[in-house]
Every structure is written in structure tokens, then in C-alpha cells.
Amino acid sequence: MSAGSGTTTTRSWMSEIFKALANLPKREPKKHFVTVDGKQIEVSLKKKLEIINHGEDSYMLEEEKIVLKPTPRLKSKFRKLLASENGYHFVDDDIHWPEKVAEGGKTWQIEYE
């Protein structure tokens, strides 16, 4: 067996590698930033993932805290049968059987929520 090969050489090289690794500077923890209302804010990884999931546009700053914007209510419109001056009179109050159009009846009107 030659003197320059084998476990002795490997061990000496390995100790040099461990010394080099020990002398490396410590890594700082990664900082996570999000942009809300045009401002870059540092947040935790969990909060950043939540914001990415919902989208940065869905958040706003309220008293220096990041909060989810309230969802806008949809203004739906639907027809409803309401009493009016002139309108339909129904047989046995069944809307599928109009009897006549006269004073004091009911009409379909659009009502907004």
C-alpha cells in the first residue's frame, strides 16, 4: 500500500473541509417582504404565503397592520311581485293564473338589494 493513498489521506482532507465549513460566516435568516398599498413590508413566511395565496391586491394597511380587504357585496337585482295602482289580479293568488288587469293589482317590479 502506498503512503499517499488510503484512509489517512482521506482523513486529512476531510479535516480541512470541516475546518473550512466551520469558518464560513453564519447565514442570516431569510427576510420576506410583501408590497401592500405601495409599501414594502417585512412579514413572516406564513403571512407571505397567505398573502400570495389571496393576492397582494386583496390586502390593505389598516393602522399599520396588514388586513384582508372586505369583499364587496354584489348589487343583485331581482323581480318581486308588489302591489301597485294598476296590475294583475290572480285566481286563488296563484301567479300562474292571472285573472284580469285592474286597479289595485300586483305587478312585477325590479328590487335592488
CB-count burial class (<10 Å; 0-12, 13-18, 19+) for 87: buried
Q: What is the mean pLDDT of residues 43-51?
A: 95
Whole-angstrom distance, CA of residue 47 vs CA of residue 43: 6
Global pTM value = 0.49
Q: What is the mean pLDDT of residues 90-97?
A: 88
Share of residues in the chain with pLDDT > 90 (%):
33
Check residue 112 and give its pLDDT.
66
The domain locations on the chain are 27-70, 77-112
Q: What is the mean pLDDT of residues 29-46?
A: 93
Q: What is the mean pLDDT of residues 8-27?
A: 78
